[in-house]
Amino acid sequence: MKNLNLGAKLILVGTAVMVIPLFFVALAAISWSARGLRAVENEQLAERSKDIAQMIDKVFEQEKKITLNLSIDPDIVAAASALAEKPGAATDRVGVVDARLQEFVHTKGLGDGYQALLVIGLDGVSVAASDMNYVGVNVADSQYFKDAIAGGVNAGAAALNQVTKKPFTPFAAPIRSGDKVIGAFAALLDIGFLNDLIASNKIGRSGYAFITDRTGLVLAHPQASNVFLMNIAEQAGMSEIAKAMMAGRAASGIMSCKVCRGPPDLRLSRPRGGASGLPFRTLNTWPRRTR
């Protein structure tokens, strides 16, 4: 520096005065840009989660209406009423209902996706069904049956079917004779439609969506081995986010997941609560971080 003439020194000092502030301005700009991109990303993920949740809500509300409509069918009410008065009787009426339900599930565009339609007595035993393998099956311990007998039209928690051993979600409604509940009608919907839904909703290049129940148990996931086996509440670093999801509140964060698809670090979008309190209100969208 001592060997430099005055002009060179002035140039160096001037350059430093200009470059150093620009360097810090550039760093600040990059930082602000990254924050902005993350904010936009989180907002997009939240909106995508909301959209998927609303689609599920609409499907469930429609299924509840179909179930309620079938529960007031005159033939179904007549059969349930006769059986309530004299169990084991009214075989002719039951036969008519069996035929009606079989016709319903085999009608293309109407019965697609149903594992079974059931007429259930007050004791919890199915007395008529679209599939004869379900006749005599006892569902008295199922919450969807209990809620229906109590007078509520409901969508129950997803479970494994006793007959097919496949996952399903139940919809149930009370069968009434006047003001008196005389049985329950249940529609067992194959849960595969949830997988179809998330398969068509990819997040960017490497992100994906999956769905859990109220407890955090995975019900639909691009990696089939996680379904009914992974519970996000048991994943490292997920306790607070899982609590928010179970309560239907929004949350976001980074988690480490050894059994999830892709890299271990995942950005979790805000889960959305179903507007109607349905069992899939904990819908989550998790895009994988690229390395």
Residues 85-134 pLDDT 10s: 877 666 788 999 999 999 999 999 888 899 999 999 999 999 999 999 99
274 pLDDT above the threshold of 50: no
pLDDT at 275: 39
Nearest to 280 by CA among 145, 169, 150: 169
What is the rounded average pLDDT of the residues 28-40? 60
Q: Which residue has the tokens 């179904």?
A: 76
In sequence order, which residues have a C-beta less than 8 Å from that of residue 188 and are 6 or more positions away?
Answer: 114, 115, 116, 117, 118, 161, 168, 169, 170
Q: Which residue has the tokens 């009370």?
A: 174
257 pLDDT above the threshold of 70: no
269 with 42: CB under 8 angstroms? yes
Which residue segments constitute the domains of the chain, with CATH numbers given?
39-59+193-287 (3.30.450.20), 72-190 (3.30.450.20)
Q: What is the pLDDT of residues 40-76, one digit of tens each?
A: 666 666 677 777 777 888 888 999 999 999 999 999 9
Residue 284 bridge partners (DSSP) = 210
Distance CA 69, CA 185 (A): 10
Nearest to 253 by CA among 20, 81, 42, 104: 42
Distance CA 144, CA 146 (A): 6
Torsion angles phi and psi, residue 274, rounded to 5: -65, 135
Type of residue numbered 240: E
270 pLDDT above the threshold of 50: no
Instruction: Copy the structure tokens of residue 92.
Output: 């002719």
User: DSSP string of 43-105?
Assistant: HHHHHHHHHHHHHHHHHHHHHHHHHHHHHT-HHHHHHHHHHHHSTT--HHHHHHHHHHHHHHH
What is the rounded average pLDDT of the residues 71-84? 92
Most confident listed range (13-17, 39-43, 264-268) = 39-43
Predicted confidence band at 19 (pLDDT cuts at 50, 70, 90)?
A: low
What is the rounded average pLDDT of the residues 226-249? 76
Q: Which of 92-106, 189-203, 237-251 has the lowest mean pLDDT?
A: 237-251
Q: Percentage of residues in the chain with pLDDT exceeding 70?
A: 65
pLDDT at 203: 65
Q: Which of 22-36, 70-84, 87-101, 196-210 has the lowest mean pLDDT?
A: 22-36
pLDDT at 170: 94
pTM: 0.73
Predicted confidence band at 37 (pLDDT cuts at 50, 70, 90)?
A: low
Report how far apart, in Å, the C-alpha atoms of 215 and of each of 165, 201, 227, 234, 279 are.
21, 23, 13, 10, 9
Mean pLDDT of the chain: 77
Q: Percentage of residues in the chain with pLDDT exceeding 90?
A: 33
Instruction: Copy the structure tokens of residue 39.
Output: 């904010």
User: 13 versus 166: which is more confidently predicted?
Assistant: 166
